[in-house]
Amino acid sequence: MSATAPGSAPLAVLGAGSWGTALAVHFARGGRAVRLWGRDRGLLAEMAATRRNARYLPGVALPEALRLEPDLDAALAGALDVLLVVPSTALRALLVTLAPRLTASMHVAWATKGFELDSGKLPHQVAREVLGAGRRVAVLSGPTFAREVGAGLPTAMTVASPDAAYAHALARELSVGNFRAYSSTDIVGVEIGGAVKNALAVGAGLCDGLGFGANTRVALITRGLREMTRLGVALGADAGTFMGLAGLGDLVLTCTDDQSRNRRFGLLLAGGASAAAALERIGQSVEGYAGARAVHAVAARAGVEMPLCAMVYRVLYEQLPPQEAVRALMSRPVRAEAE
């Protein structure tokens, strides 16, 4: 992951959920010495004893090169690269904890998707605010399910950094076996794609759960992509980014496959479950729930019209019945498709 000496030092992966474990496993399979840290010491002890993460990534054996490390300082010792794999709600707190422990030579990447709820900032903006502007940073994003990465199935994703050399080096190291990574310098666009698709996936689950059909799902994905692009361009992203893996690719994946927690959340809501009950049943972070509120607020501040995301927000937070939301969308004035 280092732009200067790839693979020459241990990698610290912070976050032992499904995606953090899958990425740690992938890097270890590629020959990197990996230290996986998490807040749940009991889970780490169980993983160390069984060489499995039965709770979040069952069926995947942990390679010998992957070490479970309950002590954060020990996880960071000697590492050149630090990869944060936590929900957007936990990113700032972890960065604050991490900041005084980082050496000047350490690089920081994350696989976090979503706007910060209170501020509306993207992950790279939060990182710059906490860590300063001089450090090499990157985001890993795209259409990836942890279970499939853990199983070694063919996968592709995007690595974005303002530093093109760092993005390329990180993508090159990720590209091992059945995993292919592409580099980008449009960190704004890549992060906006990862944030907006979560809210749209909740909408897709709601529509499918109510039996609205394939036509509705495809319309939501297509028009949702337009909304994502509109917001991204307003915030300084390259429109072309949204036609790639971190935009269209991630949107299609999370709207159409039940491995998506956001989609399953929408399905459960359509079946009559409350938001609290649906979250408890899924048992892991559902970024689209809080993310719908964050996207709604960011779009309002930017003056960007996002009717689909607005309707998801209203269903989740204003108790608008989904059937009424669909009727409201279908009765909007006719306009040019490119708008």
Who's near 114: CB < 8 A, 6+ residues apart?
87, 88, 89, 123, 194, 195, 198, 287, 290, 291, 294
Chain centroid to CA 55: how far? 20
Count Cα neighbours of 285 within 13 Å in the Cβ-side half-sphere. Answer: 19
User: How far apart are alpha carbons 13 and 27 in whole angstroms?
Assistant: 10
Q: Phi, psi (5° rounding) for residue 159?
A: -115, 120
User: How far apart are alpha carbons 185 and 178 in whole angstroms?
Assistant: 24
Helices 287-302, 88-98: crossing angle, 10 deg rounding = 90
Q: Contact 217/255 with Cβ under 8 angstroms?
A: yes
Helices 214-234, 307-317: crossing angle, 10 deg rounding = 110
Instruction: Just list the catalytic residues.
Output: 197
Whether the CA torsion 158, 162, 167, 170 is positive or negative: it is negative
